[in-house]
Structure 1
Amino acid sequence: MRAFIILILSLGALITLTACGKPSLEDAKLSDKQLNLEEYFDGRTFAYGQFNDRFGTVRRRFEVVIDGTWDGETLTLVEDFTYADGSTEERIWRLRKTGPIGADQTWEGTAEGVQGIAVGEERGDTFNWRYQIDLPVPDRDTLRVDFDDWMWLLEDGRLLNRAYMSRFGVDLGEVLIFFEKQ
């Protein structure tokens, strides 16, 4: 019985630790800006980012060129990644608004490797995007991971992205990306 209690307490501590310190759409807004995904990503955007493992070690750096088009119903994002090791990858997202017109917008999206439908919500200067994806990784074919992706509109056409990556509820690390509208 004692081992069972220790197991339950350990699992509770693990769940508490993995849930700490993450953003919420209910967080106080720090600006009066309104992020509008279809306007921000229409045209060409450049991004620079890196993946940090759960210990904070930088494991991979990359640049991304994003060509976006909005046809009034679908936002298509063609993302061309170039990694520091010289490898490349292309991902094409197709996003569609699903909520009522107004200050807060909900979205759904698909891309190759995404399991099911990605769902997101745009609120003020913030966008939260959640999905499960099979990511290509060095020395493996793919790795299925969950993303809890956060974007915040900054000044002068800049967007900050912090994505928490996990597998089976265990944090693997985070992706930090800085977008610049051109």
Structure 2
Amino acid sequence: MIRLIAALGVLAALAACTGKPALDDPKLSDAAFNLEEFFDGRVLAKGQFQDVFGTVRRRFDVEVNGTWDGETLTLVEDFVYEDKSTEQRIWTLQKTGPETGPQTWRGSAEGVIGEATGEERGDTFNWQYLIDLPVPEGTLRVRFDDWMWQLSETRVLNRAYMKKYGVDIGEVIITFEKQP
């Protein structure tokens, strides 16, 4: 029993040391990620959830239909999972930052506890929130540290780190493709 507790302690310490991106990381492009431009219209995506051990636990397709009215970005996300189950999440985001410099955002969606906050800097967008996430067994309250990088005018890579009780439990990787 003591060995099991020690092994779990070492595993938790190693998981806490996992490197994560930062907004101050050197940029690999001169692109300026403009969230409201990229997500205004139809965007298709494919993604998967991997647990902390790297095992893929769930895959999904998502269609995002976004509208930007000059003040609010509304994202209607329709998920279809590999088991054919579906889910819809509707995000409402407002730009809170200045017109020049880093752009900040706040937002909400059903299941989000409090308010989600984010910042665009260069080709990167970081979004953080606490959410009651629907899972096949019910609901799981997790904290998301969500990172997006604009790879081209039509492609965004998303990597979201998930924690429960401050411990890494897995990550979600998504590729978004803006449709004409």
Q: TM-score when scaled to structure 1?
A: 0.90
1:38 corresponding residue in structure 2:
36
1:160 corresponding residue in structure 2:
157
Structure 1 unaligned runs (5+)?
1-6
1:24 corresponding residue in structure 2:
22
Match of 1:66 among 64, 67, 79: 64
Give the drift of 1:18. 1.3
Counterpart contact for 2:38–2:153, Cα < 8 Å: no
What CA deviation, in whole Å up to 9, does each residue of 1:57-110 have, x standing for no partner? 000000000000001100000000000000000000000011111131000000
Q: Which amino acid aligns with 1:174?
A: E
> Any idea what SS the aligned residue of 1:66 has?
strand
- Distance in 2, matches of 1:16 and 1:59, equals 21
- Distance in 2, matches of 1:129 and 1:33, equals 18
The answer to whether residue 88 in structure 2 is matched with residue 90 in structure 1 is: yes
2:108 corresponding residue in structure 1:
110
What CA deviation, in whole Å up to 9, does each residue of 1:8-51 have, x standing for no partner? xx979945741431000010000000000000000000000000
Residues matched between the structures, number: 173
1:148 corresponding residue in structure 2:
145
Give the drift of 1:155. 2.2
Identity of aligned residues (%): 66
Give the drift of 1:111. 0.1
Q: Which amino acid aligns with 2:63?
A: V
Match of 1:177 among 168, 174, 179: 174
Counterpart contact for 1:103–1:124, Cα < 8 Å: no
Alpha-carbon distance change, 143 to 95 in structure 1, aligned in 2, over 3 angstroms = same
- Distance in 1, matches of 2:94 and 2:29, equals 26
- Distance in 2, matches of 1:47 and 1:104, equals 26
- Distance in 2, matches of 1:151 and 1:19, equals 21
Q: Which amino acid aligns with 2:174?
A: I
- Distance in 1, matches of 2:10 and 2:104, equals 32
Alpha-carbon distance change, 114 to 164 in structure 1, aligned in 2, over 3 angstroms = same
- Distance in 2, matches of 1:156 and 1:83, equals 27
- Distance in 2, matches of 1:48 and 1:107, equals 24
